Chain A
Amino acid sequence: MNVALPSVTLVRRIKASPAKVWAAITQADLMLQWWGPDAGPTLDVVADIRPGGRFCVVFRLMDGSEHNPTGVYQEVIPERKLAFTWDLPGAAEPISLVTFVLEPAEGGTVLTLTHKRLPDEAARTSHEQGWSGLLDKLPIFLGDRPCPP
């Protein structure tokens, strides 16, 4: 049992430039095209790509259930690294961290995705620090849409 904090790591070799991959993981209209664990639709994406910026996605699975992960961008290094917290409001599970790392390779890009559980304190701190920069935007979060523009 070599388990500390559980994490998932996946690596993909992609025949496209880091710039293309970066666009696909950071531009809302492009994220809509691929996001989600089955053929169900992605309904809404907000990606405020800057440290402290808000991440919010709504997707519907084939079984009809809708899911709404939200988070705060922690690290934004164009065409190299994107990290954001991942929180599922209403779910029992605690905050986690998603990281995309892009490396140029012959013929394209190597993408490494990590999704890991954070120790509780670190999760809370990084999440709160991210949110604190957004206090001036707070009123827009009070709307009905899960991902306000």
Chain B
Amino acid sequence: MDRTFWALADSTRRGVLQRLIDEPGLSVSDLAEGFSLKLPGMTKHLDVLSDAGLINRTKNGRTVAVTIKAAPMREAMAWLNQYEKFWTVSLDRLVAFVEAEDGQ
């Protein structure tokens, strides 16, 4: 989970994921070109995304195809959903509690 958010804390890497959602299987050089980066620069970003388990890289002959992996994103969404529910209900109870107390 830690590495997921580190990976997502960079706008280029978020952009890469967005492009991979729209166009799965893009090559590393396609991605580098799209973000005006040299191959080594894009490779570094992809290494971070790969370490976080967000992407897969598959070698096809001389090109490397990049695809997105969904599991860590689901984990992030689970975090959000869990705390959204937790605080929504807790705050509703808090509001009811203090307003009732005020009315006394």
Listed in ascending order, the chain A residues whose CB lies under 8 Å from chain B are 1-6, 8, 10, 12, 14-17, 20-21, 24-25, 30, 33-38, 92-94, 96, 111, 113, 115, 117, 119-120
Contacts and interface: CB of A to CB of B under 8 A. Distances in A.
A34 B2 CA distance: 31
Interface centre among A1, A92, A119 (most CB of B within 10 A): A1
B87 A10 contact: yes
B17 A1 contact: yes
Interface residues of B, number: 31
A24 B98 CA distance: 7
Interface SS, B side: helix
B71 interface: no
A10 B88 contact: yes
Contacts of A94: 1-2
Contacts of B76: 3, 6
B91 A111 contact: yes
Interface centre among B6, B9, B83 (most CB of A within 10 A): B83
Interface of B: 1-2, 5-6, 8-9, 14, 17-18, 21, 76, 79-80, 83-91, 93-99, 101-102
Contact of B6 (A12, A16, A120): A120
Contact of B9 (A16, A37, A115, A119): A119
A92 B76 CA distance: 12
Given A3-B14, A20-B98, A37 B89 contact: yes
Contacts of A30: 97
Contacts of B98: 14, 16, 20-21, 24
